[in-house]
Amino acid sequence: MIAAQRMFARIRGALTLAALALLGLALVVLPAPARAADYGPQPGLMKIGIVGAGKMGGTLAELWSKAGYQVMISSRHPDELRSEAQSIGPNVSVGTPRDAAAFGDVVVIAVPYGQEPQVGKELTPVLDHKVVIDLGNPYPQRDGPMAVKARAEGTGVASPRFFPRVRLVRAFNAITYVDLRSDAHRAGEPVAIPIASNDAQATRMVSRLVRAAGYAPVVVGPLSTAKLFDVGTAVYVKPMSASQLRAALGLPAH
Ligand SMILES: NC(=O)c1ccc[n+]([C@@H]2O[C@H](COP(=O)([O-])OP(=O)(O)OC[C@H]3O[C@@H](n4cnc5c(N)ncnc54)[C@H](OP(=O)(O)O)[C@@H]3O)[C@@H](O)[C@H]2O)c1
């Protein structure tokens, strides 16, 4: 009886060791689950042009490049950006602001707000009817008197004057570039990004890009409602989940 028990114990021990060995082998041999970035550029995804590859533009380029999008970052001195583009990923190219505006199905304007009137004037012929994300915030100390006016009327009213013939979307203005990098794809409920636009299709396209960057889109309403998440509002640069943001803005729960 005792001899039989010992034999079963030995067999059980041997089976456990074999199972552990197989598990170890699987961990070494099997590939890690693939992320979009492991595949490089994804065919069929919209192309993104970024005008102003500074703190915000550069961070968004990283997030979308990791998600497999083709991104063109830009500068008035494109040669100075080449090594940054290479370090972000193989699907990131470099050009002038005009090149980026022509490249993107969606174009992000990520320049100081005070530069938007000039940038809009230069790029309007290339941007004609494109989806344009405006993430600029008016700061009078940096941008001068135009920022005082934009704050009073709201960016959703001011910005369309700078970009008259585009499908404008306000998004990504109410998060700092530091949070934008660190909160992307965070565990648990994603951080919400408020969006305002008058164009339903542009809203859908930008919502997709918000999700690809690792965030939850919250559609607040038409451009006039961008004022609800402009500089100085209760939700400005305060990371919240979608349900928290909806509650803070008085939007119906989803
Ligand atoms: N920083 C944040 O956390 C944050 C968060 C939300 C929103 N925002 C808003 O986002 C906008 C960009 O902020 P940022 O912090 O990313 O600025 P930034 O780091 O200073 O970058 C601004 C970029 O704009 C480009 N630029 C400036 N004037 C230009 C012009 N006339 N034509 C074309 N490009 C021009 C510059 O590129 P070149 O000099 O290389 O051409 C530079 O790379 C601002 O309106 C800001 O208020 C910032």
Point out the residues of the chain with pLDDT beneath 50: 1-4, 7-8, 15, 17-40
119 C-alpha vs ligand 1 centroid, how far in Å? 12
| Residue partners of 82: CB distance under 8 A and separation at least 6 | 94
Domain parsing of the chain, residue ranges: 42-249
Q: Residue 14: its pLDDT value, please?
A: 52
Report which ligand 1 atom has the smallest distance to the Cα of 172: 6
Q: Residue 89: its pLDDT value, please?
A: 87
Q: Residue 54: its pLDDT value, please?
A: 96
CATH number of the domain located at residue range(s) 42-249 in this protein? 3.40.50.720
140 C-alpha vs ligand 1 centroid, how far in Å? 15
| Residue partners of 100: CB distance under 8 A and separation at least 6 | 49, 50, 51, 72, 73, 74, 107
Three-state secondary structure call for residue 56: helix
Short-list 107, 250, 247, 109, CA closest to 173? 109
Residue list, ligand 1 pocket, CB within 6 Å: 51-57, 75-77, 97, 110-113, 115, 118-119, 135-137, 173, 176-177
- 77-95 pLDDT, tens per residue? 999 999 999 999 889 999 9
pTM reported for the whole predicted model = 0.86
Q: Residue 43: its pLDDT value, please?
A: 65
